[in-house]
Amino acid sequence: MKAFSLLSICVVVVLATSHIDAFTRDDFPDDFLFGAATSAYQWEGAVDEDGRTPSVWDTFSAFDNIGNGDIACDGYHKYKEDVKLMAEMGLEAFRFSISWTRLIPNGRGPINPKGLLFYRNLIKELLTHGIKPHVTLYHYDLPQALEDEYGGWINREIIEDFTAFADVCFREFGEDVKLWTTVNEANIFAIGAYSEGILPPGHCSTNKFVNCSTGNSSTEPYIAGHNILLAHASVSNLYRLKYKSKQRGLVGLAMYAYGLFPYTNSKEDKIATQRAKDFFFGWMLKPLVFGDYPDVMKRVVGTRLPVFSEEESEQVKGSSDFIGIIHYTTLYITKSKPAPSILPSNREFFTDMGVETISIAKKFIPWGFEGVLEYLKQSYNNPPIYILENGLATKHDSTLQDTPRVEYIQGYIGAMLNAIRNGSDTRGYFYWSMIDLYELLDGYKLSFGLYYVNFSDADLKRSPKLSASWYSGFLSGIVDLDPQDITHLHNHSSGSSSL
């Protein structure tokens, strides 16, 4: 019997309550997937066990002062427990990534039998519980050996090695995995890792905020982005030629998508907003859909922006069966104000984009999410979309009664439903994250999880939050419950909410 079965029984009373914006799981198509997500380095731990070797994230975390993923949630040893929690919650799918260095320790060459067995066992456990696996091939964890050998994503050699890694994954797991994402949030990866230096491997031109040991912020993000697109296209082409007819899966690329809206109704702010969309969205999406970079990027970035050959353009165009969208927040855009600089020739992604971004104090902006889906529908031929990450961070060790997260999930799922009803071809939603993780920018200070993880406990005990109860109720076909109704039920089904 499910741990949340009491929820399913008690909320029958709530069904009698009318809400103007009420919706249930049944309002979505039967084949729509609702799940939750993690990534290898943030979840697995066991970084030096059973043949795994260091990735660039291991190296990067040694210097960023926010902890590391050496143990993380210990998913490597506790995956059966976590899959059981997913099943109890009613998850239909689970997104995870494969650690390149756990499967192929040297980045290329021999497969690690113990790494192979772990992922086979994880996938089998998911399928046994009726949960569909969605696999990400690259989530910030390039083998350190390849970074040391040739510089990783800023060298075209990465295309061959990444394709070979994907070939192993398709061959070994493709009979059971039907959804593949090649590279996680490709645009933000290229910017954060090769322009800003805040993501692994941490390349940038040293500035007053970040002291990078290597990098060139004016060229490397564009080189890395170009190689990401070519590597993705190579992997997609491999799958279509060698595996698709038998395995019948889909291969897509993921990108980070801010909601972007003009700060005022002025013509200048509207132009600036479109320019921001061309840089953030069009950089990856225009080649994938139309075969080349946006004109504004070619004009502004000039010779620093790599050029697709005719053959490469044809290979990249149409290479994504779906677009993976990662969305958390919305920004206002206004025309950039010229500012004096001691390095006027120092060009990087954000100076090239040439707009000013204004953060919105509210974290709850579902209309921004709906706007993203509407824009992609109108501007990029309404591609199939999976929402691969969406969630709300709260301070870790705060409370199990995470009412703001319940309201966030409810609001954003509702916004997504509005977009679908308006014609968006959105096919799945993965909440980030299934449990509290080692977070990319915040370590263990902030958490997104539906389940709380006590990182001070040797057993890393998991405890359901209020949001897990709500998500379970929603997936059971219940209307969007008032958080107070869930809180009352959660107190009776989960014990004390105090941490």
Look up 389 and say whether it is catalytic: yes
Residue 318 amino acid letter: G
Residue 156's φ and ψ, nearest 5 degrees, are -65, -10
Contact between 120 and 173 (Cβ < 8 Å)? yes
Is residue 47 left, alpha or beta, with left meaning phi > 0 and alpha meaning psi from -120 to 50? alpha
Is the CA virtual torsion 481, 482, 485, 489 positive or negative? Answer: positive
Give the residue among 455, 449, 426, 381 at the shortest CA–CA distance from 70: 455
Q: HSE (CB half, 13 Å, CA atoms) of 163?
A: 20
The structure tokens listed for 157 are 């050699």
Distances from the Cα of 359 to the Cαs of 81, 145, 208, in angstroms? Answer: 39, 38, 22
Beta bridge mates, 252: 181, 322
DSSP assignment letter at 338: P
Q: What is the DSSP string of 141-207?
A: --BHHHHHHH-GGGSTHHHHHHHHHHHHHHHHHTTT--EEEEETTHHHHHHHHHTS--STT------
Pairwise CA distance, residues 181 & 33, whole Å: 15
**What SS3 state is found at 261?**
strand
Residue type, position 270, single letter: K
Element (H, E) at 453: strand 451-453
Active-site hit among 147, 220, 389, 439: 389
Residue with tokens 């209309």: 367
Q: Which of 125, 185, 196, 312 is catalytic?
A: 185
Judge whether 310 counts as a catalytic residue. Answer: no
- Give the integer Cα–Cα distance in Å for 391 and 274: 26
> Which of the residues are catalytic?
185, 389
